[in-house]
């Protein structure tokens, strides 16, 4: 589904979109622009054992978050970071 209202949206508009996702959706990809998409990922990511998870998604970067519960329960620190891929990390892995 596409929602043009999310173009350059702030993190709270993006969060609202996620929180209103139908319950039968188990997985979802949210494509967005900065700063909103990075701010949302940072907001949702749980603190790691080494402090706060810093999520700055560069162009063409992705972050995969994990969450158990209902979409409407998404909130600060509710997710874990499963993977974080940036173009520079891909180049370093070559």
Give the CATH number of the domain where residue 11 resides. Answer: 3.40.50.1240
* Residue 40 exposed, middle or buried by CB count within 10 Å (0-12, 13-18, 19+): buried
Strand, coil or helix: 91: helix
Domain that holds residue 24: 4-92
Which residues face 81 on adjacent strands? 65
Check residue 20 and give its pLDDT.
Answer: 94
How many structural domains does the chain have?
A: 1
Quick one: how many helices (H) and strands (E) in the chain?
A: 3, 2
| pLDDT tens for each residue of 1-35 | 777 888 889 999 999 999 999 999 999 999 888 99
Q: Give the pLDDT of residue 56.
A: 82
More confident residue, 43 or 48: 43
pTM higher than 0.85, yes or no?
A: no
């Amino acid at each position: 589904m596409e929602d043009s209202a999310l173009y350059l949206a702030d993190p709270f508009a993006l969060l609202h979109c996620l929180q209103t996702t139908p319950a039968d959706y188990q997985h979802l990809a949210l494509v967005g622009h900065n700063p909103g998409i990075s701010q949302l990922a940072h907001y949702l990511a749980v603190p790691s054992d080494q402090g706060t998870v810093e999520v700055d998604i560069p162009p063409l970067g992705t972050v995969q978050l994990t969450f158990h519960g209902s979409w409407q329960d998404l909130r600060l620190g509710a997710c874990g970071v499963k993977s974080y891929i940036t173009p520079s990390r891909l180049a370093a892995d070559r």
